[in-house]
Amino acid sequence: MPEGHSVHRIARQFDRNFVGRAALASSPQGRFVEGAEILSGRAATSVRAVGKQMFLEFDDDLWLRVHLGMYGAWDFAGEILVDPTIASANGRMGQTNQRGTDLDDPILDSAGENSLTSIGAPRRTRVHVRMSEQTTGLADEGDEWPPPVVGQVRLRLLTDVTCADLRGPTACELQTPDEVAATIAKLGPDPLVDDVAEGEERFTSVVRRKPTSIGLLLMDQNVVSGIGNVYRAELLFRARQNPHTPGRDVPEEVVRDIWRDWVRLLAIGVETGQMMTMDDLDPEAYRAAMASRDDRHWVYHRAGLPCRVCGTAIVVEEAAGRKLYWCPRCQA
């Protein structure tokens, strides 16, 4: 699922394609009918991403809160203006015009997450992207508009030209401004929302007070926002920290370094759409890493494989119902 970077990418897509444009809202699946009726016909006025949650504002103090959870995803279809800050990893996007056709054939996007038409849980997109005529000449005028609903769609937002389908979210609800504020207030700092220096102080002071293991603290959205299971494992490896060390026993400078590393990794994730957590790769290794998820991480999903640094077998254990991967030697 989407860790924090995905949600920021989605928010930028909404900012570009939905804010300021009236949209019809519906709940083909039937589980958000009431909310959809209230929203339908309105234009979004702003969008915020905080940690793993997105808040879309509409007139009259109406806010839509969406949390994708483990399985959720947004599929975009139609004309998609691409936010220039989330150019696709292969760099092609920046070289084309802004109309949505950087869009490599989404079907060919083996990375899933890299696709700009489906952001969330990794999956092959099924959307039909109507190419802009000026880019490829492949405009598919035969495509239906609006696109046929495929599968379970909790919420569909449809402007004149762009369609966004929400599937499988953990949360999709309307909130008042007070409720939005309360939700956000409970969340730990997000480097792309809060002042980074201030966030570092908040994060550090909380972690340094807790008896809870650093491995659990990094996953606690009340301590820091947006980190999930992949970034947790990778941040700890990069810091060479044992996941079981109580937060208060992790040296302050190390805690600060972890925060600063999260700032860095989140920025990379938002730009590229991929959780690239290995630095300093030569160009060839970098290409391989971007092309294959198996080559992108130090320890995540590498149980039993040799540590990339010391060769020791990476271990996996169950912590709070999630898989925790780490190198028992590098992170002793």
List interacting residues with DNA (CB under 7 A).
1-3, 6, 29, 31, 51-52, 67, 69-71, 112-113, 121-124, 126, 150-152, 154, 167-168, 170, 219, 221, 227-230, 275, 293, 301, 320-323
DSSP E strands, the chain: 24-26, 44-50, 53-58, 62-67, 73-78, 118-120, 155-158, 162-167, 171-175, 315-319, 322-326
Q: Which is nearer to DNA, 126 or 256 (CB)?
A: 126
Answer yes or no: 52 catalytic.
yes
User: Catalytic residue among 3, 57, 113, 234, which?
Assistant: 3
In angstroms, what is the minimal distance from the CB of 135 to DNA? 26
Q: What are phi and psi of 7, to 5 degrees?
A: -70, -40
Question: What is the closest distance, in whole angstroms, from the C-beta atom of residue 75 to DNA in the complex?
Answer: 9
Q: Is 322 a catalytic residue?
A: yes
Tokens, residue 61: 């103090």
Residues in Cβ contact with 188 at an 8 Å cutoff, skipping those fewer than 6 apart: 51, 202, 203, 206, 220, 221, 222, 223, 224, 225
3-state secondary structure at position 321? coil
Of the residues 31, 210, 322, 329, which is catalytic? 322
CB closer to DNA, 255 vs 266: 266
Q: Which of 9, 48, 52, 293 is catalytic?
A: 52
Nearer to DNA, 170 or 312 (CB): 170
Q: Give the nearer residue to DNA in terms of CB position, either 132 or 180.
A: 180
Query: Is 302 among the catalytic positions?
Result: no
**Close Cβ partners of 332 (under 8 Å, ≥ 6 residues apart):** 242
Structure tokens, 168: 């499988």
Structure letter (DSSP) for residue 224: S
Four-point Cα dihedral 247, 250, 251, 255, nearest 10: -60
251 a catalytic residue = no
31 or 99: CB nearest DNA: 31
Catalytic residues: 2-3, 52, 322
